[in-house]
Structure 1
Amino acid sequence: MSEILNYIEENPKETQRLIGLEYEQLQQLIENGERLHHEKQAIVEAKKVRLIARGGGRKPKLSVKEQIILTLVYLRHMTTFQLLGIQFGVSESTANDTFKYWLSNLRELLPSSLLEQVKKNASDYEIVKEVLSEYELIVDSYEQVRERPGDNEEQEKYYSAKKTNHTFKSQMIILPEGKDIVDVVAGEPGPKSDITLFREYRDKFDPKQRFKGDKAYIGEDLITTPIKKPKNRQLTPEQKAQNKAFSAKRIFVEHRIRSVKIFRVVQERFRLNPHKYEPVILAICGLVRFRIGTLILPTQISVIPPN
């Protein structure tokens, strides 16, 4: 047993600080993760042409429980894979491979948003869109610094004058009071304006869907925004009061983005392969939904074998 797993078992109340989930939630995730892993392994085994008896070969050094915790530790603390391997008693490459495998599994287990959760069923998707139109959803975006691209065109595409660095941009849309993450867009070029990003993905929602946004969304008819200060004039006390009340309702999206950023892989410079940015962000959004109780893990998982 790794020292980190041993520490969690002895100090369950510290689990959330260590990996971003409460101890009971970790146990549920491990239970579902083990089931998914074993079903995938059964599919692989059924396709094998065996040269040795079942059960032979090298045994994995880490249990499924340790593999899941290794992945969560990386997302929460963004340590190096070398140090992660030392902590779990495996090589750097094994730590890296374990992370890749379980990142994919987390994406299957934990839908990043309400729309992703229902997208496989067209009728459910349409029902959810209609129900959402009864609410005024809250939208916002944020930038994260990435490694400098090697290609000149990529450098220009991702260079953000606002951050004076190369960045990714992500957009989050939530329910009022931050009760759930409705939609996430991750990995767009940082210089892209918030309103442009919103318009590119607007067709996911009902045509009459309303939103709340900050001043970056002024000019979009579907988005309610704060009152902008007129040039060379001041806002009236009534207008200031309206803006304050508006901000009190919109602030929940900031809180939800902050809950994603407790995972340091979202806070700091993104050092993994740029192609991993979207699945990493979406996996973390799934973890956040699970953490705040809006996502309930199924009691049974079915894996459909590929054709």
Structure 2
Amino acid sequence: MSTLVEYISKNPKETKRLIGIGYEQLEQLISQAERLHQEKLAVQEAEKTRIIKKGGGRKPSLPVAEQILLTLVYLHHLPTFQLLGVQFGVSESTAHNLFHYWIKILGELLPASLLEQVKKNENEWSWVQEILQEWELVVDSWEQARERPQEYEEQKKYYSGKKKSHTRKNQIIVPGKKSEIVDVIVGRPGPESDINLFRQRQSEFAKNQKFKGDKGYIYDLAQ
């Protein structure tokens, strides 16, 4: 068991400071994520042609709860996968693979934005579009550091001249000072411009929707 897991078990009140959510929320999230994980495994099991007997093969490198916690630690602190692996006692590649598996599971359980929650229902999204026109939506983006990619083409893709390092670009749209997240884009290559990110989402909103942002968006927001 990782030192962090032991610490949280003994100090549940510190959970929110460490990973951004409370201890009870963590327990619920682990339970829901593990259930969805098992459902996916059952589907895979039913579809596969078995060569070795059930229960054989490579054993998991970490218990499921620790795999989920590893993912939450990355999201809250953004360490390198090398550091994450050291913290949880696994290799850098294993930490990378575990994160990318569980982030998809968590994405299904926790829609990141209002747009994702209602977009599947056309009537509901149309209603939300009308409501949103009552606000001037705030759009903003930022870059977060990522580990240096091994492949040269990936290095070029993620190298940000502005930050002089390899980064990912994120964008968020919110209704003024309210806490509701209307839309979010995460993990795009750092050099991608703010305007390009904005244009990818602008068409999802009503034509009369008003936005405001910093100078990276000035031209488009003036249209």
Distance in 1 between the 2:191 and 2:55 partners? 49
TM-score using structure 2 length: 0.79
Distance in 2 between the 1:46 and 1:171 partners? 39
Give the number of equivalent residue pairs.
220
**Structure 1 contact 143–190 (Cα < 8 Å) conserved:** no
The 5-angstrom pairing of residues 63-142 of structure 1 reads 63-142=63-142
Distance in 2 between the 1:92 and 1:123 partners? 45
| Gap change, CA 1:61 and 1:209, over 3 Å in 2 | same
Distance in 2 between the 1:82 and 1:163 partners? 21
**Structure 1 contact 158–191 (Cα < 8 Å) conserved:** no
Query: 3-state SS of the aligned residue for 2:182?
Result: strand
Corresponding letter in the other structure for 1:66: E
Query: 3-state SS of the aligned residue for 2:60?
Result: coil
Query: 3-state SS of the aligned residue for 1:129?
Result: helix
Gap runs ≥5 in structure 2:
none
Query: 3-state SS of the aligned residue for 1:60?
Result: coil
Distance in 2 between the 1:135 and 1:115 partners? 15
Please name the residue that 1:285 is paired with. none
Corresponding letter in the other structure for 1:12: P
Moved more, 33-42 or 199-208: 199-208
Please name the residue that 2:37 is paired with. 37
Corresponding letter in the other structure for 2:123: S
Please name the residue that 1:190 is paired with. 191
Gap runs ≥5 in structure 1:
224-307
Cα drift, residue 24 of structure 1: 1.6
Which structure would you say has the larger RCO, counting Cα contacts within 8 Å and 6 or more residues apart? 1
TM-score using structure 1 length: 0.60
| Gap change, CA 1:218 and 1:88, over 3 Å in 2 | closer
**Structure 1 contact 210–222 (Cα < 8 Å) conserved:** no
The 5-angstrom pairing of residues 1-307 of structure 1 reads 1-144=1-144, 147=148, 150-151=152-153, 154=156, 159-160=160-161, 162-163=162-163, 168-186=168-186, 187=188, 190=191, 192=193, 194-195=194-195, 197-220=197-220
Query: 3-state SS of the aligned residue for 2:141?
Result: strand
Deviation readout 1:199-247 (Å, 9 max, x if unpaired): 4532110111122334544455668xxxxxxxxxxxxxxxxxxxxxxxx
Distance in 2 between the 1:150 and 1:111 partners? 33
Cα drift, residue 163 of structure 1: 4.2
Cα drift, residue 96 of structure 1: 2.9
Distance in 2 between the 1:78 and 1:68 partners? 15
**Structure 1 contact 139–171 (Cα < 8 Å) conserved:** yes
Distance in 2 between the 1:96 and 1:167 partners? 16
Cα drift, residue 112 of structure 1: 1.9
Query: 3-state SS of the aligned residue for 1:177?
Result: coil
Corresponding letter in the other structure for 2:28: Q
Cα drift, residue 18 of structure 1: 1.6
Cα drift, residue 68 of structure 1: 0.2
**Structure 1 contact 137–173 (Cα < 8 Å) conserved:** yes
RMSD: 3.2
Q: Choose 1 or 2 for highest CA Rg.
A: 1
**Structure 2 contact 15–22 (Cα < 8 Å) conserved:** yes
Cα drift, residue 80 of structure 1: 4.4
